[in-house]
Structure 1
Amino acid sequence: MSSDAVSNRRGLMLVMSSPSGAGKTTLTRRLLSEDDDVVMSVSATTREPRPGEVDGKDYFFVSHERFREMIDEGELLEHAVVFENRYGTPRGPVIQALNAGKDVIFDIDWQGTQQLMSSASAIDLVRIFILPPSIKALEERLHKRAQDSNETVQKRMAQAESEISHWAEYDYVLINDDLERTYEDLKAIVRAERFRRERRPGMSDFVRQLIEERQS
């Protein structure tokens, strides 16, 4: 058996959750740019596009009516309401990527993560929660990125406590007090999870071949 056959694997469903401003987006974008085996799950949302966002690349921007249709027709792996808007993960592209051995990053909150845990694809799930070094640092980052109004920043800060309270539901928790170190820790998690026995279907045949060689 060739080493390629042994190395073939099913992809990971890599969930990245955090309160807004903890650095999740920066970490995700860097991993995507440096690892060809990682792709981004593009969510559907009912919110309006922000400046520079592209439909089909950053999000699928849909109406509330279309979103309800996607739920009713079973087209979403998970969905949730966040800040009065709906977000959800289209099922088809994710399953296709996993079967091709690609790792799919999910930028979802704890509600969506819980739904994925109850799905048939939960075996593929790796859950990572990103924490800020302090609440003060979190608020400073939100103001610094200047994407939201002061009112929205305060809403996000009020929501942060609820989001952080779900940290124990995740497999890994990273405190982003140093971006470089946190990124290296993230890469180490991904690499280790790729070598889990249950994600390498060709390994059973390889081991069987080794035993047969010894017995022949």
Structure 2
Amino acid sequence: MRDELRTQRQSGMPLTDNRDAVQGNTLLARHYKQEMANLTQWINAIDTGQLGDVVQALSNSKRIFIIGLRNAYPVALHLRQQLLQARAQVHLLPQPGQTLAEELVNLAPGDLVVVMAFRRRPRIIRPLLLQLQQLGIPTLALCEPQAQGVIALARWQLCAPLDSVSAFDSYAAANSLINLLANTVLHELLSDGRQRIHQIADLYSQLDELKQR
């Protein structure tokens, strides 16, 4: 792929907005087609009624706890940071180097736990979901469509395929799903969400945290 991109650059061919780059049987073309197939699959499979219930839970739960381990940690962090723009009390678990038990002991039915349960998940995911089920804690699982053992243990399930033409899983569909969830929650909480975003923007300015474009 690197050689293909270098050849395009040396020939003066633009590397962006180029339809020819995704034609044929090149690695770049196969990658593009697989990414598009993943996006199409989760969009076609999504249950809009369940999605509405999930958005209500993400909007109205007293607290949200998002759990992500291994490769799912960056996905969990991204969801947390997006939701935090629209509402308060969104927490990421576990903290670095820490266990989960101390964090879960005070969970209540008014809370929501989001478990990132994508494949090659640690063994703790199944007993964690079972425990949350026994406690009556509303739980949303984000996982790949083949994770039937996980799907059965959560109140809500949203699936995103991770298929890739390479050895590494692709989380593009998962992040697209997170983008949809975060934006839908923001629209659900539009008045308060907008006010919160303005307050955050003011703090960015006061703290000089972000470089202006």
Q: TM above 0.5, one fold?
A: no
Q: Which one has the bigger helix percentage?
A: 2
Instruction: State the TM-score bracket (shorter-chain normalisation).
Output: under 0.3
TM-score (norm 2): 0.24
TM-score (norm 1): 0.24
Q: Which one has the bigger strand percentage?
A: 1
